[in-house]
Amino acid sequence: MTATRQSTDRTHRVHLVLYPGFKALEAVGPLSVMSYANQHLRAAGHAGGYDVTIMASAPGPVRSDTLMSLEASASLSDETALGTVFIVGAADIEAALGREPRLVDWCRRRAFEAERFAALCTGSFFLAAAGVLDGKRAATHWNYAQRLQALFPGLQVDADAIFVQDGNLWTSAGVTAAIDLALAFVEHDFGRDIALRVARDMVMYLKRPGGQSQFSTVLTTQMTGSVGMRDIQTWMGANLDRRITLEDMAARAGMSVRSFTRAFAAELGVSPMVHLEQLRCERAKTLLLDTDLPMKNVAFRAGFSSDEQMRKVFRRRFALTPRDYRERFKTTQVTPAPAATPAA
């Protein structure tokens, strides 16, 4: 998306909503993104930027889950015009809900009045408790997804999403995903160039490889205990555009097919072929979101036998076709994909 002169000259009001025990990084991450954005806008001669106000039940210092406190300069109000709202999460979110009934009520009254109302990580529990997420998709920290769904069955929890938009409501995954969402807002408000500069300052991807996956197959691979199994998984990921059989994996591991399958499943909790399919899906999602490649090319580079096979796997795993996935989640401009390296 290309920013116009009008958009780069606009000031966006932002309200960061805190309460005792909030996750510090979820507050400081978006604050840093917007501070960097303001610096780059000024350096480029633009008048726009972010005007941030910290809000809480009462003005004053608000202690986080660390030694750090942030100073709230405003209390929750029904009079304040709301631009973008961020409400952060907490580790013990159910206790926070019990302590903050006023905040739940405020969310109920004001969520749909904001231009954008973003609940970060377990902050989504506040919106759910307020009833404003009923019938909507929502994200949260992967470790709290089942709990959110159990407590609030009227919403649809997407445990694999970095962030989800439904109307003016936004919800994000855990902790650092707050930075991903803030960068997406900067890109929307002031264009890709400013957002990229901020991302580079923070040594962040503008958009994570793998798109929506917050607890990805690649991360799971890094957690595997056995060096030998990690080597096999790394080899699988590096050769996705080739045909890989169970026999190939077992031979590389120097094991029989039966022993390899048993050992692999014991460490990762899934069979080798299921893991391979997960890796292919990760690669396909990255290509769908970060390139304009046709479906056949995406399928080839991800190692599917055809675009039809890829479509069937996506429908089974994500209840979406690859085309639907691209249309739903792609929010940024793309760059040409590098030429594929022919398989040896």
* Domain co-membership, 191 together with 230: no
User: Stretch 204-211: mean pLDDT, rounded?
Assistant: 60
Is the pLDDT at 207 greater than 80, yes or no?
no
Is the pLDDT at 294 greater than 90, yes or no?
yes
Tell me whether strands 74-75 and 49-56 are parallel, antiparallel or unpaired: parallel
88 vs 202: which has the higher pLDDT: 88
Tokens linked to 61: 């210092």
Residue 2 has a pLDDT of 40
End position of a domain, from candidates 173, 201, 229? 201
Number of CB atoms found within 10 A of residue 342's CB: 6
Residue 217 has a pLDDT of 53
Q: Among residues 78, 131, 98, which one has the least CA distance to residue 19?
A: 98
Residue 342 lies in a domain: no
> What percent of the chain clears pLDDT 90, i.e. is strictly above it?
67
Q: Give phi and psi for 118, each to the nearest 5.
A: -115, 125
Q: Among residues 244, 219, 239, 240, which one has the least CA distance to residue 230?
A: 219
Q: Among residues 125, 131, 126, which one has the least CA distance to residue 145?
A: 125
pLDDT in tens, 270-279: 899 999 998 9
Specify the pTM: 0.66
Residue 220 has a pLDDT of 54
* Domain co-membership, 299 together with 191: no
User: Stretch 284-298: mean pLDDT, rounded?
Assistant: 90
* Domain co-membership, 118 together with 236: no
* Domain co-membership, 163 together with 241: no
Q: List the CATH number of the domain containing 113.
A: 3.40.50.880
End position of a domain, from candidates 174, 201, 228? 201
User: CA-CA distances (angstroms) from residue 293 to 63, 172, 288, 319?
Assistant: 48, 27, 7, 21
200 vs 31: which has the higher pLDDT: 31
Residue 216 has a pLDDT of 47
Tell me the C-alpha distance between 297 and 187, whole Å: 28
Domain holding 247, by residue range, is 217-329
* Domain co-membership, 194 together with 227: no
Number of CB atoms found within 10 A of residue 133's CB: 26
Number of domains comprising the chain: 2
Residue 268 has a pLDDT of 82
Residue 154 has a pLDDT of 95
- Any idea which of 48-52, 186-190, 230-234, 321-325 has the lowest mean pLDDT? 230-234
**b/e 284-301 (16+ beta carbons within 10 angstroms → b):** bbbbbbbbebebeebbbb
User: Stretch 53-60: mean pLDDT, rounded?
Assistant: 97
Is the pLDDT at 230 greater than 90, yes or no?
no
Tell me whether strands 84-87 and 163-166 are parallel, antiparallel or unpaired: unpaired
